[in-house]
Every structure is written in C-alpha cells, then in structure tokens.
Amino acid sequence: MNSSNLALLAADELTKSCARFTVLKSPESPRSMLPHYAFSLASPAEIISNNVERSFLECKTSCISCWDCSAEDDSHSGAPENLRGIAVGCQDGSFYVFTHLGTIADSERRSILSLEHNEQHERRYMPLRYPSRLDATAPRSPSPSPGRSGFNPMQPSKSRVVSGISTEQAEAPKNYVDFDEEPERLKGMLKGKPVKHRPSVDSRLSEGESSSSAEATEATNTLVDRGMNHSNSKKLYKSRLSATASPSPSATTLSSPPSPAFPAAQSIRPSSSIWALRLHVLPPRMGPSEGVSAMRCIENRRYLVCLHQSGRFEVISTQDGYCLVSGSASVGFPLGKASVKSTLPVLWNWQSIRVLETPTSTFIALIAGVDVMNPVHATDPADGNSEVVMRVVVFELEGLNLDSPEVADDKVADVVLQGYPHTLSMLEAGDGHLQLLYMTPEYQIIKRSLAIDRKSCHDDETKKPSSSNTHLPLPNPFKALTSISADNLSVEPEKTTRPSPLGEQVVLGNFPISYTKRDLRISFTAGRSIGLVWSDTELLIVKFYGGTLLHLATKATQGVLDVAWKDSNSFVALYLDRAELYALQEVTADNDLLSADSTQARVVQVNLLHTVQIPLSDTLALTAAGDVVSTRLKRSQRRLELTSTVQSSSLTHALWKGTQADQPAEESSISAALPLKLNDILLGYGSGYIRYMPLAEAIRSFALATNSIRSDTALPGRIVTIHRVVNPRSSQPRIIVGSDDGGIAIYTLDTLRLLARWTVFVAPLVDVVPIEREGRLDGRVFCVSEDGSIAVVAIDECQFLYLIPPSISPIVKACIGEDNLLLYYADGRARLWDTRTREFWRCMSSDKADEMLSEGGWFQWNPSSAKSRTSRILSALAGSSSILDGRATLTFDLEAYLIDLGLNTLPLTTKATTYPTHSLKEKLEELRTILAVVMVRGIDENIDRICEELIGTKPPNLTGGMSIADTTVLFSVSSVKDVWSISSAATAIRALAIISILQTMLQCDASPQLVDTVVTFYSSALGETVGPSFKTPSLPLLARVWIQTTAHALRHASQILFEAGVARLSDEEIVHLIQEWQNKLPSLQSASSVQSSVSATALLICGHIASHRYALLASGTLTDVAKSIALYLHDETSPYRALAIDLCSRGFPVWQQYVDAVQMLRALFVLATTTRKDVIGVHNVGLMARSAILHIASTNTPLFMTTLSIDILQPRNVQHRRAVMQLVIFLIRKKPLVLYSNLPRLVEAVVKSLDPSSTASRDAVLDSATEILGHIVQSFPTVDFHMSSQRLAVGTSEGAVVMYDLKTATRLYVLEGHKKRTTACSFSPDGRRLVTMSLEESIVLVWKVGTSLSSFFYPGAPPRQGHSGSEPFKTLNFNVGDEGHMTLAETLEYVRFEWPAERSVKLRIRESILTFST
C-alpha cells in the first residue's frame, strides 16, 4: 500500500470512526451492526451505471454545491484527489455526487474543464425554482363557491366509484375545502378587502425574472471577521475606497481594516480533467416536500451536509455517501419568539446552512423562513403586517462518527428571529456563546449573542403557544365568518419557562434599501472588510469601519441570483441567462480617475467590465473563483457545464454529460417492488401490470420470468407503490396498488385478480395504513396520497367510502379514537373530523390536540416512521416511486438473515445434520440467491468458474450500494473493478457479505474446497487482482462488526478480513494507524466515553496490532492498551468484556508486563465459571474466558499455576475457591498436559483446602475437591488414591513420590527411589503396597506403605522397607523396546497398572503386558 492509500485509509475511513456527534440515540429503531446491502432490479444491463445516469437524466434539480474542484494542483488543499466533486440536489429529496478522477492524455482530451476552489471561501446554492409540493397539480379554487356551501369534502359522490373488476376510470374530485386559508381570508374580510385567491405556482413564477430567481439562491460567507470592533459609530462618512491599498483613516479617506491574507481563488482554465457520476444518495424520506434546498461541505470537504425543505438533514461522506448523521431540525419548538408579532402556526421552509468550525467543535446552523405557500403568513406587504422571520436551529458537531451513525435529536439552540434568513452569519464569541449577525426587516444589520445549551433542548423546552382561539367552533365554519372579530384571531403571548438564549441587539449599520419582494442576501470578500447586499432590484456596496457597516455605493439591477467576489475589487453577479463581471473603482466627485497619492474626496463607482452569456439551465451556482457551474438538458442528455467569467467571449464547456442508453421495453421497466419474504417478490411495471415471482428469477434474468404470475388487468398508469394488507374477516391477504395517475386498485395475492379500482387522487398513492379494532373504522384502510389526501377504503367489501381533503402542510401524525379522526400537520395545527357524520369539526393547535390524546383511547399512526418494509431482512425503499433507479431498489439486512437462517448456534465447520434434507436444500438455494446478488463476475476467471459452480448459474453483476440509518446510496460504476474502488466501507460490506454467506453454505453441504478457495481469494488476493485503485476494507467497520454482531458467520468473516488487512500493512503504516487510534483508547477517555463503540474499536485495532507486532509500539502505548483491556475486563457492566477476553488470550505475555497479571487472570477465572444470566450478551463470555485460560495456561504455565494455587489456598471467599476448583476440573478435561508438570503443586493446594481444622471451609469445598481428585486420578497415571486408608500418592517429574493423608489434609512423607520422571504409580487393593514406574529408567519399584510401628516413633518418615536405609522394598527392571518411546500425552493413554491379586500387578505399556510379584 502506498503512502496515498495509507493516508486515505487512516485519515479518512479510520478517522471518521473516532469522532462523536452530540446526539441522542433513537431507541425506537434498533440498527444492524452492519450497513445493509442495496441492489437494484431495474436495469436490463449487467452494470447499472446507466440506470443511475438515466435517473439523473430524468431528475428535476434544485441546487448545486461544488468543492475543491481544481484538477491542476493536487497539493493546495491537502485533500485526497477523489474528494473533489460536485453535488447536485433534486426536488425529490435525493442528490447526486460527481467526483474528479484525474486527467487524461491530450490524445484522449475531452471538452472538460477543471474547477479551482479556495479552501477558505466555500459557497452553497439554492434552486432556480421554488420546489413546490403542488407543481404537479393544477390550480384549484381555495374555497367552494357560495352556491355549494353545503359541500361535504368527505362525500364520495363526487367521484365515480368503480367496484369489482371494472376497466372504467373514476373521476378525481374537482374541488376541495382548504381550511388552512380561512384565517387569512377572514382577516381580509374583516378589513373590508376582497377575498384574494392564492395564485398557482406557475403564475407566481411567471411574474418576472426577479421573482423566479428570488427563491433560487443562498447566501454563503460569514458576515464579518471575528476580530472586528463591534462598537456602534454614529458618524456619517462619504463613500470612499482606495483602488490600490488601504491607507489609514483620515478626514478625507476611508479604508478597510487589516485582514488576514487569503489565497486568491484562481479562474477556471481548460484542462483534460475527468469527471464521473459516482453516487446517488436517497434519504429516508423523499417526495415533493423533501426537496434539497441547500448543501454545504465541512471538515475539509470530506463530509457533505444536505438540508431538505422539511427540515430533515443528513451528513454523508463525500467519498462513498456513507451516512454519518441524520435528523430533523423541525422537531420540537423554538425559543425566543417574543419578537415575532404573530404566533399563529407556521410552516417553515428550510432554506440554508451556516457552518462555524472551531478547534474543538463544528457548529451547523440550519435556517428556515416562513413558507410562502403558507396562507397564514402569505400576507400582502402593503398591509404593514408582513413578518420577515427566520428559525435558526444549531447542532454541535464534535467530529463525525462513521463507526456509529446516529439520529440527531440533540439541539444546542433553536430560536426564531425577525430577519432575512439568507443574511444570517454565525461567529464564535466564547464563554458558551455564539454571535449571530443578520439583517432585520428595517434593513439594519444586527449583532446578537446566542447561548449554547448543550443539554437536550427537548427535555424542558417551552411548548409552542396555544392557538385554540383560531379554530372554528362549528362543523361548518363558513356560517360564522361575519361574526368573528379580528381580535378573536389573536393568541395569548408565549409563557416561557426558560430564559431566552438570545442577547441584546446591537445595530451595526442601516442601509437605504428600497422595497424588495424577496429575501435579501449578503456576501463579503475573503478579508470580510468589503461586502455586497443585494435584493431583486439593487446591489449595495458596504464596508466595515470602526465596528460599523458603511454604505459606499448602489447599483441598480434586476434578477440577481447570486454574487461571488473574485478579489477585493471585483465581483461576479449571476443571472438566469448571464454572468456579469463588475469592478469597484474610486473616482472624484467629477468622475475623474484618482492617483494613488491623491488627497481629493473619493467616490466608489461600480463598473460593468463584461457580460458572459450562459445557456438557459435548470440550476446554476457560482464557484469560489466566480465561474458558473450549471446543469441542463441538451439533446435529451443531462450535462454538467462550466462557464468561465474571465472573458466576455468565454465558452461553456461540459464537465460531464450522460451517455445515451437504450430505454427498456415498457413491460420490463420495473417501477415498484414489494418483497413479501426472502424469495418471493411483487414487481410493478410501467405497463400497469404487476408480477409475483421468486427473487432468484428476478435477479438472474431481467427478461420476463417464466415462473411468475401476472395480474389479469393492467392499470392505466405506471405502478408506483405496492402494499400488502389482510382482510380482517377472511384473513385473506390483499394487494393494494397505486398508479401514477392517482389510481388505487385491490388485487388478490394468490392469483393477482383485480377486485376493485378507483381514481380518487390527483397525486400518487404513497402509503396504506390498516385500521384494526378502532370503532366503525375497524377493517378499513387509509390510503394516503402524496399531497396528503386520505381515501378511506373498506377492504372486505372492496368499497371506497370517502375522501379526506389535504392541507398545504404535510401530515405528521394521524390519531383515531372511536368516531373521531385527528390529523396533525407540520405547521403546528391539527384537524378533528367526525368519521360517523363525515364532517369537519374543528381546527386547533397541536397543544390542544395533545390534551385530547392524553385522555387515552387513541390509535396513532406516524407517517414519518412508515416504511414499505415487509420484513426486517429484505426491504423496498419508501417514497422512491418518482426516482428511476430507486423504484426497484431493495436493501438486504445480512446480519438479520444469517441469524434467522437458524444455523447461528452451530459451529461454522459443522454441517447442520439435525435439519431435514429438504430444509437444508431450501436454505442452500436461498444462500445461492443472496450470493448471486453480492458476487461480482469478471475479476478472475478461475474464481468465476468456482462461483458459477457454487451458485448454479452466472452471477448477474448487480452493482448495488449500501444503506445506513435508512439512507441508501447507489453506486455508479463503469467496470467490474470499479466495484472494488469506491471506498473502504463499500469494499468491506461486499466482502463481508460474500465471505459470510460462503461460510454459511458450508453448513448446508457446500464443497469445502471450493468455499475455501473463494474465501482465500477475497480475503488475500483481491487487492492484487484489482490493482492500484483497490480500496482495502475499512478496518473500523470490520472491527465494529467483529465486536458487536450476533451472527457467527459475520463475525468470523469480519475477523478474517480484519486480520488479513492488518497483515498487509507495512511497519510505517502500522505506526501511522496506531497514531490515529491510540488517543481513543478507553483508558484515556472520560467516564462517559469509556464504553463507547469508538473506544472499543480503538482497543481492538491497537490491541490486535500490539499482540502481534508489539515491537513497533512505544511502551506508553502498550501501557494504555493493557490498562484498557484491564478496564473492560474488571467492569461487570461493560458490554465489551468479550473483546477484553479475546485480547487477553492473544497477547497476555505482552500485557503482563504493564498491568497486574494476577488480577487479570483472576478476572478470567471468575468469568470462566460464572453462570449469572445478567452477564449473557452478544458473545458467550464464559466460553471465551475458558478458552483464554487454556491458552494462557499453555503459554505462561508458571504464572498460571501460581495464581491457581494461591486462589485455592487463599481465596477471597468460599464461593471463589469453589469456582476455581471448577475451573481446575475444566482444565483437567480439556488440557491435562498444562497441569502435568505442576500437578504436585495443584494436588497439594487441593489437599490443604480440606483442612479439618476449618470445618466450614472443608464442607464447602469437599464435593469440588473430591471431584477434582477423582478427575486427576482418572486422567494422570502418576496419581493414585486408596479409599480405605484415604492415602493419595503423587509422582513428580523429579522421580519422587509424595504421600498425602486426606483425613488430616497433610503430607505424610516422600518416597525417593527414581532418578528420572515418574511415569505411573498404583496402590495394591489392601493399600499396603505402592508400585511406581519410570519409563525413562525402565524400572518398577515396590514400596511398603502400610501402617507400621515405626510410624508412631518416626512421624513423617516413610515406613521401613524390610532393610536399612530408604531403598525401595523391591526393584524390578523391564525392557519393552520401541514401545517404551512415547510422549507425555501418550503416557496418559497407554500406561496403566492392573492388580489381578493383592500381591500381583500387571503393567500395560501399549500392547505389552508385564506381570510382577510385589
């Protein structure tokens, strides 16, 4: 691995795993340890890159963000080359990422240009058009006509209901009551104004260029530098500016204060750069209300923050789309609303992102303005009641955590301010405060402090004000319009229970801006001394001086979308069709040029240098250098283009353009999918048909499958969604299908026979909610459309009952109680309906609705959590019907599948013989299907042949993606090798899937030779085959799976890949890797972070390396690792004790030099013998501890036996001694040779534990000690016991034999006759003789051991043997030849004494039998 790959591995993939996002985990959605694998069924090609391109071709773009796009200078940013790119957001909520791949030879030169980006000057951009939720609908009357005042919006008679098998089209209702508009219309009526109907989106956009562009762009830079003086100067100055330098302020001159030097952004130059479409990111929720409104790169452009109109946001890796953080800024209620004139419910339109990076944290501010589509706030500015307000939500980012992506629930600030959203800037103020700078509706620049609350803002935040006075008290609200006064529409002021986090306002400047129809924008130079304030009609040049913003000049203009400074004296203004380059010049009052040393009064002029024409594009954005990046369709091809603004004659060049792809036949164009179970799937097609087929056929052949069932009747539109429900009466499953024309159809599941069809919506169906045991709605289903309309259908009778009209604001929750239906909306209001009379009762605030719910008896449904998942293993993406490559994308939870397979309890090398043969065959077929999904054909011919044999057919090469935190990313690749060149995380996910499935196939009778060959290739040889572009598997991801997964096959696969990855690293790379992770070890963390998954991952990485290559690590690092292992090992509540046990086993000889090894062993003793249920976790801790003890006992026997003996003789308590004795029994059974050389010490410790002077202790351990001695006598021929005399003889390796008396728990004497190891010993049946044998000496000794008179006079001395001295009673020699040559392990099995009589003994040595007389 070269140094660049090392930097990518350590600094990108690994560093992303070590950070932390200050959020709270969501307890309701447990997440798999491994990101889900994603794959698409929608392409007829072998590689689906064309499918991603086709999806980009059909998308409606909303904004563009580009970062670090220079192709000619690879060193100016320090970022890896493949992190340079462009992100294009779409109105459906998804976004695409393009990356810069390098340069090509001049002979292959294409019309592609490079972009250079200034690190200190990033920009974010908004769409050209306001992405409305109603774009697809025709304008409708906001209220019924007077002649139809009695219209019931829930009455189904306005649409023809088609029941049974009918091919007629039902007509959608032409009118509906929009109750959201009534409060605003009511205000106007009370003031004597005519009722104004809300214009359609198209009519508003056609009002002019400025109006169209008003919704399109986003302000970018910080407002002022942090070191400025914020004092408010009241002096008036003339507009002056030096053209060359900034002299000191005087009576006649004005200059900018000194500012830090920033490298100037260079202009665009043509180059032979290569750009490629790499990623398509699909967030959890998609649709018209989820359009991407802003994107911003952070953390050296390694991560991209994407904000949606609804307030949802994601933080992803720009390399592979890996989702690190996801959440919603709109959750909860803001503080600081005292300055807002109206407290009516608000529908926020989230528009922009601000980022403040400090040395310790990164603050992300998400900013929203009042939705212009909200009728409550869409007032006429001429009324004087118009409010320019914004909501600011701040999250604190303390790094990013790829290892454990979180759902963001923790805000540090949430406030509402009076001001223009796009003018907000965020600065660091210290002392737990931020500084906010923004422009008010009075055109004043305000500075205001914001206190950071690192406690959860949701714990004790103030509830939003009640607006119960705004609801209409009667079922028919139109009868009392004239009797309600304007005063009744007001609400009580907010009662805050917490102090406002906002400080006092400080005015920095006031500017003469004429009336504007849209939000104001501000942009400052890199030095932040000169700035631009612009509206739809003018540009203002401003300057900081003495802490005050001064107005220098004004330039009239129309329709500016965005502005970017090229340098301190020139800027580029972006319009829909052109870009204009302006220069600032100082002249005299007579418009004469000034010399550098002139002392005359100076006036600033804004001069147009030249204009560059831009092709009409869908979305445009300015780079930091002032060039234009845009996207448009040209000749049915979507392309990314770049236009330089250096010269007026600059041409537009294509950075990237899609290739023409053959459109699949209508019948084979999959438009929706619903997996019923792993191997059964329902597919919807563009032709209006649906099919039921096995998944194996769907992935192996994109042609129409033969083994499938097709619906008998096609719908007139494209199938967009499929749902499965159950008939509550017959318990028969039914299929509800939605089409893109707003139609709904019901089919049988077994035959796909059409039962009923209606067309009741103007937008497609998105969700189906069955209602059970809820009053008169029991057995009904709610069919929810994209615009929020709800069709109530009786599934048993196949009857359409009534339609509930939509609101401008999307539904966030539905509650059903008896005959009441309560709908919550995103703008903070709720509607109550009577399902019996089908009448609208009242509109109320969500506070009042919550009070009703608190009484109980309500069934709740939350569409934000609704998914089209039918199982936890195979799932379809929710809300992806409008996205071509997302329509038939499935996500596969490998971990859940391996667990549910039923083979998780068996060792991987053990065949599942307990299962029936047909069941194993079914499991094997499932495994082959999944293997075909994840396998890639074309890397190696031999591996391809083996895989084809294992699978039974050629893998279809479904290039897919991954899904994490419900955010799915699809990869676009151009070759098979590109599959393994995306990112380390993508490589790890696919390799884990392949190896774990192959390992599981061994249990289902797959060929071990074939499986081992493929596993070895993917773990060891894949990188060399792919080449330099290969991305090694992510070590943090592998470590996390290894630690936390419950699937044995997955854990084993992660271990194989992790160890192979570490083995490939050079010494230099090992050192670099350790440096990245050693500061995250548990022993170095605070108490709150010790048990984090990041700390555990750091311990696995550092501990695994230290146990094998400890010579490369400093002693301080080894100490930290050893302390971390001990920390987890001794913590009874730690979820990572299994990790500590495994590392203890691997590197105990290393750790024992840095920590108390005896205490570490004792902790293992306890874990090895514990049976408490509260310690049962993901891993079998007891089994792992016993295995570790066996390993340590083999490698460090002296220390082990010393600790064991001490714990038997001096235990902490009786229970501990008993546990240790149980461990001895385990050792005797599993590894007797470990105890062989230390057997005398062990036996003596056991004997002393039976001391009769301690009755309680003896009674407690008697059973265990007896069991131990029994196992020892049975396992070791060197030990024998005589029951009647209670004598125990133990032979030693020195040749002596020790005699014990168990009655007194004492050593009686030692028999010394052998000069070499004692091989066996045995008592005679009467206990008066003891025979011992040494195989190395080939002699047998006979000893008298019975009680004699001399024992009373010489206690402790052996009995007299019948002659003087200590010689044995008899010495017998033997010779068995080669059979006497054996190992210690063989002596335990092949050497035995047998006593046919009291004075006759037989010695068995293998097949030889020797008989002796004693």
Q: What is the pLDDT of residues 643-694, one digit of tens each?
A: 988 887 778 888 898 876 556 555 568 889 999 888 889 999 888 999 988 8
Question: Quick check: 227 pLDDT over 60?
Answer: no
Mean pLDDT of 1203-1217: 80
Q: What count of residues does the chain have? A: 1414
Residue 1038, pLDDT score? 93
**679 CB neighbour count, 10 Å cutoff:** 18
Which whole number is the average pLDDT over 51-62? 88
What is the Cα–Cα distance from 329 to 311, expressed in whole angstroms?
5
Task: Answer for the pair 642, 628: CB distance below 8 angstroms, yes or no.
Answer: yes
Looking at the predicted structure, is the pLDDT value of residue 82 above 80? no
Angle ∠(898,899,902) on CA atoms, nearest 5? 95
More reliable by pLDDT, 338 or 541: 541
3-state secondary structure 777-810: HCCEEEEEECCCCEEEEECCCCEEEEEECCCCCC
| Angstrom distance (rounded) from CA 709 to CA 695 | 13
pLDDT at 129: 31
Percent of the chain with pLDDT over 70: 72
d(CA 1039, CA 1100): 7
CA distance 1076 to 1059: 18
pLDDT at 403 over 70: no
- What pLDDT digit, counting tens, does each position of 1283-1334 carry? 999 999 999 999 999 999 998 999 999 999 999 999 999 999 999 999 999 9
Interval 100-108 mean pLDDT: 51
Averaged pLDDT of the chain: 75
| Tens of pLDDT, residues 991-1032 | 999 999 998 988 887 788 899 999 999 999 999 999 998 999
Note the pLDDT of residue 1200.
Answer: 86
**Coil vs helix vs strand at 380:** coil
406-408 and 323-328 strand pairing: parallel
Least confident of 438-452, 620-634, 916-930, 1068-1082: 916-930
151 vs 676 pLDDT, higher one: 676
pLDDT the model gives residue 1356: 64
pLDDT value at 1133 more than 60: yes
Rounded Cα distance between 1414 and 1330, Å, is: 9
Higher pLDDT among residues 1078 and 175, named by residue: 1078
Place of tokens 């045995």: 1322
**Which pLDDT score is estimated for 1329?**
93
pLDDT at 775 over 80: no
- Residue 856: the pLDDT is 81
The C-alpha atoms of residue 1196 and residue 1188 are separated, in whole angstroms, by 12
Residues 6+ away with beta carbon under 8 Å from 1276: 1232, 1236, 1239, 1388
- Determine what percent of the chain is predicted with pLDDT higher than 90: 26
User: Residue 1173: which pLDDT band, with cuts at 50, 70 and 90?
Assistant: very low
pLDDT at position 635: 83
Tens digits of residue pLDDT in 308-330: 998 999 999 988 898 888 888 88
Distance CA 673, CA 1059 (A): 39
Q: Does pLDDT of 778 surpass 50?
A: yes
Q: Please, which residues bridge with residue 600 across strands?
A: none
Check pLDDT > 50 for residue 751: yes
Instruction: Classify burial at 315, counting beta carbons within 10 Å of its beta carbon; exposed 0-12, middle 13-18, buried 19 or more.
Output: buried
Assess whether pLDDT exceeds 60 at residue 393: yes
Phi, psi of 474, rounded to the nearest 5 degrees = -110, 155
Q: Which residue has the higher pLDDT, 287 or 305?
A: 305
In this prediction, residues 1174-1197 reach a mean pLDDT of 77
Q: Are strands 743-748 and 1391-1397 parallel, antiparallel or unpaired?
A: unpaired
CA distance 1022 to 1026: 6
Contact status, residue 340 vs residue 389, Cβ threshold 8 Å: yes
**Residue 1395 confidence (pLDDT) above 80:** yes
Q: Which of 185-189, 478-482, 628-632, 936-940 has the lowest mean pLDDT?
A: 478-482
Q: 1223, 1169 in Cβ contact below 8 A? A: yes
Q: How far apart are CA 899 and CA 893, in angstroms?
A: 10
Other Cβ atoms less than 10 A from the Cβ of 1320: the count is 24
Rounded to whole angstroms, the Cα distance separating 91 from 291 reads 4
Looking from the CA of 365 toward its CB, the CA atoms found within 13 Å total: 29
What is the C-alpha to C-alpha distance for residues 782 and 761, in angstroms, rounded to an integer?
13
Residue that the structure tokens 């016991």 belong to: 1281
Question: Which pLDDT does position 63 carry in this prediction?
Answer: 94
User: Side chain identity at 1159, as an amino acid letter?
Assistant: Q
Question: Rounded CA gap, 886 and 103, in Å?
Answer: 32
| Residue 988, pLDDT score | 93
Tell me the mean pLDDT in the region 1166-1172: 75
549-570 residue pLDDT tens: 788 888 888 888 888 888 888 8
Percent helix / strand / coil, the chain, rounded to 5 = 30, 30, 45
Bridge partners (DSSP) of residue 555 are 539
* Half-sphere exposure of residue 471: CA atoms within 13 angstroms, side-chain side: 22
Higher pLDDT, 460 or 629: 629
d(CA 426, CA 416): 15
| Residue 33 vs residue 1236, higher pLDDT | 1236
